[in-house]
Structures are given as C-alpha cells and as structure tokens.
Amino acid sequence: MKRQIPLIIVMSLGFLFFAHTFIPHKFSQDFYDWYVSWTKAMSPFAVILGIMSLFMVHTTKIQRKVPNWQYSFVTLGALVFTAFAGFAWGTNEGTPFMWLFKNVQMPMSATMFSLLAFYIASAAYKAFRARSAQATVLLIAAIIVMLGQVPLGQIISKWIPITSTWILNVPNLAAKRGIMTGVGLGMVATSLKIILGIERTYLGGGD
C-alpha cells in the first residue's frame, strides 16, 4: 500500500489534468486553481528538504573528517550567515543581504560560468583533433557563427555575417526542428509511462 496509493494518486491526477486541457469549463478551471494553490503551499517545504540535505552532507563530511572536510565549515557558515542576513535586515536594496548577492554570489557565479570559455576552447581543439569530416563541419559552423556575432567577422568579409545568419536560419533551424519533434514525442511517451504507472523511479527505493 505504501507504493500503490501514491501510484493511484499520480494516475488519477494525471488523467484529470489530461482531461482538463480539453475541457474549458469553470469546474475544470477551479480544479486547476485549487491544485496550483495547494502545490504552492507545499513547495516551501521542499526548500527545507534541500537545506537539510546540504546540512547532512556537510556535517557527515566534518564528522568523518573526509579529505577537504574543513571547507564544509565555509559552506555551512556562508549558508547560515546569508540566510540570517536576509531575515535580520531584509532583502531590499542596500541591505547586507543584497551586498552579499552583489559582491559575493554574483561575481563568483559569473566567473564560474566564464571559466567554461577556456574549457570550451579546449573541447573545440579536441574535436578538431578527431579529424572526422563531421567534426570539421561542426567547427566550421561554430567559427562562422562566432565571427558573425562580432565586428571582426564583418571586417574579414561581408559574407561572414550573411553566412552566419543563413546557418542559423536554415540548417540550424532544420536540426532544431527535427530534434524538438523527437524531444516532444519523448516527453509525451515519458508522461504516458508515468500516468500509466510503467515509470515508477520517482517513488524511490524501499517498500
């Protein structure tokens, strides 16, 4: 029963929402509004689950003194201090909470993503070393699109921005359309598997 009742709930809600899409009736809309208000009331507790999970991972690291366990204090300290700053002084402009966002969180996340610029360059080099015709086509398309985005492309040749636009509007569109159709069919198939109880991995292990 620990698995069957949740499965029955998913199936029932799944079929009701399937029908809701095709029934533009007030009763159907009220049901949807009720569901949305309930899920919104449930969602803050998922954040607590995330916090508990992070705390458990890092306290376990500290207790077991795994390699680099000292840095877990940094994570937990930053978490507690940032949350405390938000609750104590508010989240408006000019508060310590916003200072932490602007001078700690935002610069670090932007730098973390910008690091990928270097690793993408090394990935391109590895693709080029593969020396297959398809990898070469990939790289040529990438180089033309990159040059088409910057003034340098226009300086080299007026054809680079034109070719870049053509690549984006024609072969890229065909590729995206084919892939999107496949993704859409995959989503439909997966959703049906969940509604019909074939896909049950979201229930987790155990009884």
Partner 1 sequence: MFELISNLVAAFLTLSIFSFLYKDNPFYKFAEHLLVGVSMGYAIPLAYENVFIPFVYNPIFLERRFIIIVPAIIGILYLFRFSKNLSWLARYPIVIFMGIVGMSVPMSMHSSVLVQMRSAMLPLDNINTFLIFIGTITILMYFYFSKEHKGTYGKISNVGVWFMMVGFGASFGYTVMARMSLLIGRIQFLLGDFLGLIK
User: Which residues, in sequence order, are CB contacts of 6 under 8 Å at separation 6+?
Assistant: 203
Least gap, CB of 6 to partner 1 (angstroms)? 4
Q: Which is nearer to partner 1, 25 or 134 (CB)?
A: 134
The number of beta carbons lying within 10 Å of the beta carbon of residue 144 is 21
Query: Does residue 134 touch partner 1 according to CB under 8 A?
Result: yes
Query: Does residue 23 touch partner 1 according to CB under 8 A?
Result: no
Residue at 151: amino acid letter: P
Query: Does residue 144 touch partner 1 according to CB under 8 A?
Result: yes
Query: Does residue 170 touch partner 1 according to CB under 8 A?
Result: yes
Interface mask (CB under 8 A) for partner 1, residues 88-127, using x and -?
Answer: ---x-----x-xxxxxxx-xxxxxxxxxxxx-xx--x---
Q: Which is nearer to partner 1, 156 or 203 (CB)?
A: 203
Query: Does residue 204 touch partner 1 according to CB under 8 A?
Result: yes
Residue at 56: amino acid letter: M
Query: Quick one: which segment of 23-31, 154-162, 178-186 binds partner 1 (CB under 8 A)?
Result: 178-186
Least gap, CB of 25 to partner 1 (angstroms)? 15
Query: Does residue 160 touch partner 1 according to CB under 8 A?
Result: no
